[in-house]
Amino acid sequence: QLQLQESGPGLVKPSETLSLTCTVSDGSISTSTYSWDWIRQPPGKGLEWIGTISYAGITYYDPSLKSRVTISIETSKNQFSLELSSVTAADTAVYYCARLESATYFHYWGQGTLVTVSS
Amino acid sequence: QSVLTQPPSVSAAPGQKVSISCSGSGSNVGSDSVSWYQQLPGTAPKLLIYEDNKRPSGIPDRFSGSKSGTSATLGITGLQTGDEADYYCAAWDRSLSARVFGGGTKLTVL
């Protein structure tokens, strides 16, 4: 069964860059069948899509975050990563990584990791 | 304000049925497949319905999905207390070139 695990600092200072990695286990990230996404959920609020990356490195980002987001993929490590720059308290959220299937739905999700932006 | 509109909350008694709507536009629900997710408190979302009306293996047939035009609906029959959760719809928006989620609906089983 495919597993995804987010990792990274749980606390980031305002104006700094949030960096998270998603490690994929029991399955290869190097397949054109799937894409790999980041989704976040601020405390007490709904799901917010951040962006996606394909095996070939093609990315799409949410328009509201596009100027601050970079998603990259490291096939040799079976990982993909998120960088969000110039963070503020509004970026405090649980961050999830997920696998996009048939370009339409998320079947596998990581457990999520809480990132708090605070000095 | 979410691109996809869901009712904030719905409620029904155990054993009853409930429907959760997801209203969009021609650039998202009207032109792309809708998926539905269940999020129990403190856990990651779980896929319930994909490609408008298909259920993944292990999802009981009490859960169903449908779509007409720019609106999609999640139906749940035989409600159980364990169904109390937040439910989200999602689709790709071709105008935004972005995936969009509904604001979420909290289901209470009275």
Distance CA B24, CA B7 (A): 13
Q: What is the pLDDT of residue A32?
A: 84
pLDDT in tens, B21-63: 999 999 999 999 999 999 999 999 999 999 999 999 999 999 9
Q: Compute the radius of gyration of chain A from its Cα atoms.
A: 13
pLDDT of residue B1: 81
pLDDT confidence bin for A10, thresholds 50/70/90: very high
A7 pLDDT higher than 90 = yes
Please check the confidence at residue B84 and state whether its pLDDT lies above 90. yes
A105 to B99: CB separation less than 8 angstroms, yes or no: no
Inter-chain contact A104–B50, Cβ cutoff 8 Å?
Answer: yes
B94 touches chain A (CB under 8 A): no
pLDDT band at A62; cut points 50, 70, 90: very high
User: Are B98 and A60 within 8 A, CB to CB?
Assistant: yes
Instruction: Give chain A's mean pLDDT.
Output: 96
How far is A96 from chain B, CA to nearest CA, in Å? 8
Of B44, B97, B104, which is closest to A60 when you measure between CB atoms?
A: B97
Q: Which of A48, A102, A107 sits opposite B101 (nearest CB)?
A: A48
pLDDT reported for residue B82: 96
User: Would the CB atoms of A47 and B46 count as touching at under 8 Å?
Assistant: no
Give the pLDDT of residue A55.
87
User: Taking the CA of residue A70 as centre, how many other CA atoms within 13 Å lie in the half-sphere pointing to its CB?
Assistant: 8
Residue B26 tokens read as: 């021609």
Give residue-wise pLDDT tens across range A78-112. Answer: 999 999 999 999 999 999 999 999 989 999 999 99
How many A×B Cβ pairs under 8 Å? Answer: 64
For chain A, percent of residues with pLDDT exceeding 90: 91
Contact B6, B89 (CB under 8 A): yes
pLDDT of residue B27: 97
CA distances from A30 to A2, A11, A92, B100 (A): 13, 31, 30, 25
pLDDT at B50: 98
Instruction: Provide the pLDDT for residue A38.
Output: 98
Residue B100 is predicted with a pLDDT of 97
| C-beta atoms of B92 and A110 within 8 A | no
Question: Can you spell out the DSSP letters for A14-56?
Answer: TTS-EEEEEEEESS-S--TTEEEEEEEE-TTS--EEEEEEETT
Q: Does residue A31 carry a pLDDT above 90?
A: no
What values do phi and psi take at B82, rounded to 5? Answer: -70, -10
Across the range A25-39, mean pLDDT stands at 92
Residue with token string 């997710």: B37
Within 8 A of B102 by CB-CB distance, chain A residues are 46
Q: Do B88 and A47 touch (CB under 8 A)?
A: yes
Please tell me the distance from the alpha carbon of residue A66 to that of residue B25, in angstroms, as a whole number: 23
